[in-house]
Amino acid sequence: MKQGISVGQSAVIHVEVTPDMYAQFEGEIIHQAYSTVSMVYHMEWAARQLILPYLEDDEEGIGGGVEVKHMGPACEGQSLTIRAVIITLTHKSVISRIDVKKGRELIGTGKVIQFILPKKVIDEKLENAKM
């Protein structure tokens, strides 16, 4: 990783809830509300923003885990702010705390773990997974 990444750095993304983000299984909408699946996606995307400027050309981030607590609903058209903050940093991993807010209301919180590996190592792991 390039120099400069540090504990406490943050990244923010903004999303507006759309019907494709509804809670659904096999195409059947269960609730017309922001799904936990969408929340996890946005948490990971916010966390990824933290590492992108620091990846070397031969490196990539790969997910190592997500912890999520979905605490409140959001409906179509409502704006969400997803904020990621680095809480732990090693030479191989970045752990971020993520908060999802609808206005001032905290509707989700959790952690995202990302490992930083050489692209070559990731490619080898994927190739071995095919066997």
Give yes or no for residue 43 having a pLDDT over 90.
yes
Q: What letter does residue 91 receive in the DSSP assignment?
A: S
User: Would you say 43 and 112 are in contact if contact means Cβ atoms under 8 Å apart?
Assistant: yes
Q: Which of 93, 13, 12, 1 lies closest to 53 in space, CA to CA?
A: 1
Q: Please, is 23 exposed, middle or buried when counting C-beta atoms within 10 Å of its C-beta (0-12, 13-18, 19+)?
A: middle
10-129 topology per CATH: Thiol Ester Dehydrase; Chain A (3.10.129)
pTM of the model: 0.94
Per-residue pLDDT averaged across 52-59, rounded? Answer: 96
Q: Measure Cα distances from 5 to 9, 42, 48, 90 in Å.
A: 7, 21, 13, 10
Output the six-digit token pair for 57: 């050309």
Q: What letter does residue 40 receive in the DSSP assignment?
A: H
Give yes or no for residue 28 having a pLDDT over 90.
yes
Question: E strand or H helix at 43, and its extent?
Answer: helix 36-51
Give yes or no for residue 91 having a pLDDT over 90.
no
